[in-house]
Amino acid sequence: MLYIGIDLGTSSVKLLLMDEAGKIKNIVTKEYPISFPKPGWSEQNPLDWFYSLMEGLKELVQERDKKEVNGISFSGQMHGMVILDKEDKVIRPAILWNDGRTWEECNYLNETIGREKISAYTGNMALAGFTAPKLLWVKRHEPDNFKKISKVMLPKDYIAYRLSGVHSTDVSDASGMLLFNVKEKCWSGEMLEIAGLKEEQMAKVYESYEVTGTLRADIAKELGFPLDCKVIAGGGDQAVAAVGTGTVGSGMCNVSLGTSGVVFVASKDYSQIKDNALHVFAHADGRYHFMGVMLSAAASNKWWMDEVLKTREYVKEQEAIPDLGKNNVYFLPYLMGERTPHNDPDARGTFVGMTMDTTREDMTQAVLEGVAFALRDSFEIVKETGLSVKRIRINGGGAKSPLWCRIIANVLNVKVDKINSGEGPAFGAAILAAVGCKEFISVEEAAARLIKVTETTEPEEEIVRRYEKKYAVFKEIYPALKPVYKRMAEEQD
């Protein structure tokens, strides 16, 4: 049997074909445009997603027995707002996760309604990227469009609807809408009332591995797939990426060292996080997860190498870095502001501690260490939940650097594992499809059978001690500079 994982990203859709043994048979990527109608706005036409998807599906299986395709599932960019009218036609372009127009709506939710109430209703606070503030924006600025809303959908759920004819979503993606009671895994009546919506305008909620329907007859015919090909709910990109790295169960942790940085910890139980310092979402394995996000992880190193040093010799630049834990230069990696734990869009990248003998290597090392320290900020909040994390799995472009993995192992004082798959969300979606089709008993069983550790970096006792002292200094720098960042932002305005 064959299973398809679809990862609907911001700039492209990635499709992965997997057999029942977990072997990847083919991968196809199709790009689509993104528009920025005004500064800070970010939109896409959902029809572009669907047309790219159909083109990709045909290419993915063109040399395969199409009748072997047993199930399809999804990973998707989270928080995006797709609104449909009573004829299921798209009302306006989707407002994406990285759109920043809703700051007034977020202030209304967090300050006027109250952050404590919002958190009690959903488990999280209002952020500009979330779906509920987008709906309030449409209600205020485009009232005619708001009145037309028959269904509110997330990006991946729209393409799932186009394939199956079913309005569905899953618990992990719904968790990022700020309309969902994460603890109880149901729509929040209080939040729907605040948004001016009724529950019948929301999609039916499933666990990520549950079957929501089968392919529409016309879609199955066009693709050559069997009529009983199952459509499985899927999940938000980070949750499904975690499935693809085997970060399921309880206490498992994955660190994504991509453009942004993510600390993702699976938990069997729901837990409210003080001050909403971490996202608390339902997980694609049927349980829960905590997630801390830093905005400039590998992006910080890319900026330093490409824009400042003007080099693409990433490996060469790291070769001359001296002993770890002895560098007296610090770097705050807040080039695009910061989310966890500061939630401060005004924060900026900052070097501290340079002297006349500071070298190029010191500065490069400070960038790598600064990202590791910022990841530890999230890691420390995870510890406060009572979860004990002794090892992490690492993925993303930055994970290709052995030095960076070694720094992270020592800053976090954990074992750092690399695994046999680097496909993340698309592979995780294919696993969910296989679980939904009963190829595996559970997501945990599938992950245990298909995902293996290939390399481990161990923390070193002496370097761990050095970094403990360095991290204590790092934690003091942002609070000291916060008023300066605020003043700089005011002057720019």
pLDDT digit string, tens, across residues 402-416: 999 999 999 999 999
Which residues participate in catalysis according to the annotation?
237
> What pLDDT band is residue 492 in, cutting at 50, 70 and 90?
confident
CA atoms of 144 and 142, how far apart (whole Å): 6
Tokens of 108: 């209304």
pLDDT at 138 over 70: yes
Amino acid 493: pLDDT: 62
Amino acid 137: pLDDT: 98
Nearest 5°: phi and psi at 437?
Answer: -90, 10
Mean pLDDT value across the chain: 94
DSSP letter (8 states) at residue 81: B
The continuous run of DSSP H or E covering 392 comes out as strand 391-395
Tokens of 292: 């801390």
State yes or no: 153 annotated in a binding site. Answer: no
pLDDT digit string, tens, across residues 63-100: 899 999 999 999 999 999 999 999 999 999 999 988 88
What are the structural domains, with CATH classification, of the chain? 2-239 (3.30.420.40), 246-420+460-493 (3.30.420.40)
CA atoms of 470 and 349, how far apart (whole Å): 18
pLDDT digit string, tens, across residues 327-382: 999 999 999 889 889 988 889 999 999 999 999 999 999 999 999 999 999 999 98
pLDDT at 162 over 90: yes
The average pLDDT across 292-311 equals: 94
State yes or no: 79 annotated in a binding site. Answer: yes
The average pLDDT across 279-302 equals: 93
Q: Which residue has the tokens 């036609």?
A: 89
CA atoms of 59 and 201, how far apart (whole Å): 35
Amino acid 145: pLDDT: 98
**DSSP string over 357-375:** T--HHHHHHHHHHHHHHHH
Q: Which residues of 365-374 are buried (b: 16+ CB within 10 A; e: fewer)?
A: bbbbbbbbbb
Amino acid 339: pLDDT: 84
> What pLDDT band is residue 21 in, cutting at 50, 70 and 90?
very high
> Is the peptide bond preceding residue 322 cis, with omega within 30 degrees of 0?
no
pLDDT at 146 over 70: yes
Which of the pair, 278 or 56, is modelled with greater confidence? Answer: 56
CA atoms of 18 and 3, how far apart (whole Å): 5
Percent of the chain with pLDDT over 90: 85
Amino acid 39: pLDDT: 83
pLDDT at 477 over 80: yes
> What pLDDT band is residue 392 in, cutting at 50, 70 and 90?
very high
CA atoms of 198 and 85, how far apart (whole Å): 14
C-alpha triplet 101, 104, 105: angle, nearest 5°: 90
User: Which residues does 131 contact at the CB level (< 8 Å), separation at least 6?
Assistant: 79, 80, 81, 152, 154, 176, 177, 178, 179
Which of the pair, 424 or 70, is modelled with greater confidence? Answer: 70
Which of the pair, 392 or 388, is modelled with greater confidence? Answer: 392
pLDDT digit string, tens, across residues 428-469: 999 999 999 999 999 999 999 999 999 999 999 999 999 999
Q: What is the pTM of this model?
A: 0.89
CA atoms of 166 and 172, how far apart (whole Å): 18
Is residue 264 within 8 Å of 280, Cβ to Cβ? Answer: no
Q: Which residues of 75-97 are buried (b: 16+ CB within 10 A; e: fewer)?
A: bbbbbbbbbbeeeeebbbbbbbb
